[in-house]
Amino acid sequence: MDAIKVDSVTRFYGEHTAVDDLSFTVNKGHIHGFLGPNGAGKTTTMKMIAGLLPAHRGQIQINSKPLEQNINELKLELGILLENPPLFQDMEVREYLDFVARLHKVPKDQIQKSVDYAIEKLRLGDVAQRLCGNLSKGFKQRVGIAQAIVHNPSIVILDEPTVGLDPQAVIEIREFIKELKEDHTLLLSSHLLHEVSLVCDEVTIINKGKLVVSGPVEEITNNFNKQAQIEVSAKSLSDEQIKKIENWFFIDKVILGNNDKEEVSFQLSLSSINDHRHECLKNLMDINVEVISYKQQKMSLEDLFIRMTKGAQ
Amino acid sequence: MIGLIFTKEIKSFFKSPFAYVLAGLFSLIIGWIFFNLLMSYVDNLQAMPNGVQSQLKFVNAVVIKLFGNMNFLLMMICPAVTMRIFAQEKSDNTIDLYFSAPMSDFELVMGKFLATIGIGIFLLACTLIFPLIMWRVNIHDFSFLTFGYIGALLNIACYMSVGLFCSSLTKSQVIASLSSFTIIMLFWLVSWILQLSDNYFLISAIEQLTIVSHFESLVKGFVGLQDIVFYASFICFFLFMTMKSLSARRW
């Protein structure tokens, strides 16, 4: 079932189109990574999903209900942390979480329980009586996540939750995010692609407000790897053989690498979406290329992101 | 929800040393003015023959002048109270907390407005020693004083509504306070035009637009329908503009 469905959403800022006909879905109980270069429209999209900004075209559905028509009801289903945690500097952590719980209409008899849940989940017990303004950046970020979950929403939206944190804090936040998956659906934007690949089940990549790709991480990387680079080493490679290879329909281009007397290496860039790796090897044999090694270059999410966003530019 | 915002704002105000500096300064200045007015009244009273001394004289010599000065002080203090209300929330991004909560802009604006009125009442309460002093000097008619306080409170409501509107337009507290002070001053300076024209209709029309003229009639105890309409429409207009300004994020 879809927790979030973004359907052909467009948002303008004056003449500028920040989000352009964007569609993707976030499945219930998953951690969904939301990637894109700076200015791609991630924060704008997240703000629209959280009901902070209306879409100029298209529709957003939360738990199968249209957001625009049920905005106040659905705001209870959403917890959001934008890039900077919205903390009142003069409030103590517990007092602040209590206030946020009341803002989100948590019943009076459950406020204490909700605040305790958020404090326990984010391990804020030691700083519960300290002023938000006196906390370190890592703790401020934790309190930011705590305020997003204090009213126990089914969907949590986190915009760059690890930005500006030290490596230890990044690891901690990653663990918290993984733990949150047990009770919430998460939409998470980050520049740290390694981070996303470690915690996310699904990913959506956007560039200049437009969708590049969306789906389960494994499926996307597998699909992409099928059409990726193959590194080949052979005893020799003549110009005639290169021309033949370039004529195969699934070959995008042949990139020649090191060439010495005993071994020649080259890269084959496969353009087709279907998997032609086996066929490619068979064809190389047929044209008498004496293959020494044949290895597919596996793409990480980072390679994928760079290639896709660059390609879209 | 209005009560929640109100309580949060009041707590936040009294947690800050700014509240006590502001209240201290206000009490000091208005106390000094009251003392001088009282002393000059007593001097004049002693110089007069017994038969012409009257209660009304005290109202003209002390009460009206006191509230006139108080009004001028409030014109400067109210923008200092309201400047942080939305501007700081915008610069700290805490405004998103309200926008992501299931509440309307009306609830948010009303909660904050009522909190500023609460702060205004606290400031006025700092001057409640004046009636006690008057009681000690055998002045027992507090009707003019009551009208004065009602007028001052209505003026505070006007100034705070302007301040809220200006604060909702910007992230900068300095710009918020300067712009609200400018607007408040404009409504005060309009009354000067009255002295430059002898056109009766123009004077009557402009008179209805100035806070000062309505405040004066209130302090003197002449409460008319036009005063009530003026104060109500002035406050509602600026609160409405504040709500519109907040909803501009949706454009």
pLDDT tens by residue, B17-34: 999 999 999 999 999 999
The Cα-based distances of A262 to A247, A254, A290 in angstroms read 26, 20, 11
B100 contacts A51? CB cut-off 8 A: yes
Specify the number of domains making up chain A.
2
CATH code for the domain of A267: 3.30.70.3100
User: What integer pLDDT is reported at residue A273 of this predicted model?
Assistant: 55
- Residue B250 sits at the chain A interface (C-beta within 8 Å): yes
Tell me: do A234 and A194 sit in the same domain. Answer: no
Tell me: do A235 and A162 sit in the same domain. Answer: no
Residue B107 pLDDT exceeds 60: yes
Helices (H), chain A: 42-49, 71-75, 93-103, 108-121, 137-149, 167-180, 193-199, 217-226, 239-247, 277-286, 301-312
- Residue B102 sits at the chain A interface (C-beta within 8 Å): yes
The predicted-structure confidence for A158-171, as pLDDT tens digits, reads as follows: 988 887 777 887 88
User: What integer pLDDT is reported at residue B161 of this predicted model?
Assistant: 96
Tell me: do A163 and A234 sit in the same domain. Answer: no
Of A263-267, B8-12, B132-136, which one has max mean pLDDT? Answer: B8-12
Residue B52 pLDDT exceeds 70: no
Cβ contact A156:A189 at 8 Å: no
The Cα-based distances of B16 to A90, A99, A157, B13 in angstroms read 8, 18, 33, 6
B100 contacts A50? CB cut-off 8 A: yes
Cβ contact A205:A35 at 8 Å: yes
Calpha distance A27→A5 (Å, rounded): 9
Calpha distance B48→A87 (Å, rounded): 63
Of A66-75, A269-278, B50-59, which one has max mean pLDDT? Answer: A66-75
B94 contacts A87? CB cut-off 8 A: yes
Quote the distance between the C-alpha of residue B147 and its chain's center: 14
Calpha distance B184→B156 (Å, rounded): 11
Tell me: do A209 and A242 sit in the same domain. Answer: no
A214-252 burial string, b = 16+ CB within 10 Å, else e?
beebeebbebbbebbbbebbbeebeeebeebbeebebbe
A80 contacts B100? CB cut-off 8 A: yes
* Percent of the residues in chain A that have a pLDDT greater than 70, as a whole number: 92
Q: Phi first, then psi: what are they for A10, rounded to 5°?
A: -130, 140
Q: What is the mean pLDDT of residues B96-125?
A: 93
User: What integer pLDDT is reported at residue A289 of this predicted model?
Assistant: 86
- Residue B101 sits at the chain A interface (C-beta within 8 Å): yes
Residue A101 pLDDT exceeds 90: yes
A39: helix, strand or coil: coil
The last residue of one of the domains, among A214, A244, A270, is A214
Which of A77, A92, A99 to probe by mutation at the B interface, max B CB count within 10 Å? A99
Residue of B157, B158, B72 lying closest to B115 (CA atoms): B157
Residue A115 pLDDT exceeds 80: yes
- Is the ipTM, as predicted for this complex, more than 0.95? no
User: What integer pLDDT is reported at residue B248 of this predicted model?
Assistant: 83
The Cα-based distances of A284 to A61, A259, B9, B79 in angstroms read 50, 18, 75, 80
In a domain, A309, yes or no: no
Closest CB to B250: pick one of A53, A87, A102. A53
Residue A312 pLDDT exceeds 60: no
Q: Work out the mean pLDDT of chain A and round it to a whole number.
A: 84
Tell me: do A286 and A210 sit in the same domain. Answer: no
A50 contacts B12? CB cut-off 8 A: no
User: What integer pLDDT is reported at residue B86 of this predicted model?
Assistant: 92
| CA torsion, ordered B112, B113, B114, B117, to nearest 10 deg | 120
Tell me: do A242 and A144 sit in the same domain. Answer: no
Q: Around Cβ A1, how many Cβ atoms within 10 Å?
A: 9
Query: Residues 6 or more apart from A294 whose CB is under 8 A from it?
Result: A230, A231, A232, A233, A281, A284
In a domain, A94, yes or no: yes
Q: What is the mean pLDDT of residues A79-93?
A: 90
Within the 140-169 window of chain B, which residues sit less than 8 Å (CB to CB) from chain A?
Answer: none
CATH code for the domain of A50: 3.40.50.300
User: Taken in order B191, B192, B193, B196, is the CA torsion positive or negative?
Assistant: positive
The Cα-based distances of B167 to A62, A128, A217, B161 in angstroms read 33, 31, 45, 10
B102 contacts A104? CB cut-off 8 A: yes
Confidence of residue B112 (pLDDT cuts 50, 70, 90): very high
The last residue of one of the domains, among A157, A184, A214, is A214
Largest CA-CA distance found in chain B, in angstroms, rounded: 70
User: What integer pLDDT is reported at residue A102 of this predicted model?
Assistant: 94
Tell me: do A243 and A198 sit in the same domain. Answer: no
Residue of A175, A177, A182 lying closest to A158 (CA atoms): A177
Calpha distance A117→A151 (Å, rounded): 10
* Percent of the residues in chain B that have a pLDDT greater than 90, as a whole number: 49
- From A86, which residue of chain B is nearest by alpha-carbon distance? B94
Range of the domain at A133: 2-214
Tell me: do A83 and A23 sit in the same domain. Answer: yes
Closest CB to A52: pick one of B15, B96, B103. B96
The predicted-structure confidence for B125-181, as pLDDT tens digits, reads as follows: 999 888 888 888 777 777 778 888 988 999 999 999 999 999 999 999 999 999 999
Confidence of residue A2 (pLDDT cuts 50, 70, 90): confident
In a domain, A128, yes or no: yes
Residue B108 pLDDT exceeds 90: yes
* Percent of the residues in chain B that have a pLDDT greater than 70, as a whole number: 94
Which of B100, B104, B105, B249 to probe by mutation at the A interface, max A CB count within 10 Å? B100
B93 contacts A88? CB cut-off 8 A: no
In a domain, A10, yes or no: yes
Higher-confidence position of A233 and A302: A233
Residue of B129, B166, B173, B182 lying closest to B23 (CA atoms): B129
A vs B, Cβ pairs < 8 A, gives 58
A105 contacts B102? CB cut-off 8 A: yes
Low-confidence winner among A18-22, A271-275, B82-86, B111-115 (lowest mean pLDDT):
A271-275
In a domain, A247, yes or no: yes
Low-confidence winner among A205-214, B72-81, B118-127 (lowest mean pLDDT):
A205-214
Tell me: do A7 and A82 sit in the same domain. Answer: yes
Q: In sequence order, what are the beta bridge partners of B27?
A: none
- Residue B99 sits at the chain A interface (C-beta within 8 Å): yes
Residue A8 pLDDT exceeds 50: yes
In a domain, A53, yes or no: yes
Residue A30 pLDDT exceeds 80: yes
In a domain, A259, yes or no: yes
Residue A272 pLDDT exceeds 60: no
Calpha distance A104→A99 (Å, rounded): 9
Residue A269 pLDDT exceeds 90: no
B155's enclosing H/E stretch is helix B143-169
User: What integer pLDDT is reported at residue B13 of this predicted model?
Assistant: 92
Helices (H), A214-312: 217-226, 239-247, 277-286, 301-312
- From B95, which residue of chain A is nearest by alpha-carbon distance? A86
Confidence of residue A215 (pLDDT cuts 50, 70, 90): confident
User: What integer pLDDT is reported at residue A313 of this predicted model?
Assistant: 47
Residues of A near B (Cβ–Cβ under 8 Å) read 50-54, 71-73, 75-76, 78, 80, 82, 84-91, 99-100, 102-105, 147
User: What integer pLDDT is reported at residue A166 of this predicted model?
Assistant: 79
User: What integer pLDDT is reported at residue B50 of this predicted model?
Assistant: 65
Tell me: do A253 and A147 sit in the same domain. Answer: no
Within the 47-86 window of chain B, which residues sit less than 8 Å (CB to CB) from chain A?
Answer: none
Closest CB to B97: pick one of A71, A73, A103. A103
The predicted-structure confidence for B186-202, as pLDDT tens digits, reads as follows: 888 877 776 777 777 77
For residue B12, list chain A residues with Cβ-Cβ distance below 8 A.
88, 90-91
Tell me: do A252 and A136 sit in the same domain. Answer: no
- From A88, which residue of chain B is nearest by alpha-carbon distance? B94
The Cα-based distances of A43 to A84, A188, A189 in angstroms read 12, 11, 8
User: What integer pLDDT is reported at residue A231 of this predicted model?
Assistant: 83
Higher-confidence position of A5 and A182: A5
User: What integer pLDDT is reported at residue B73 of this predicted model?
Assistant: 93
Tell me: do A177 and A55 sit in the same domain. Answer: yes
In a domain, A306, yes or no: no
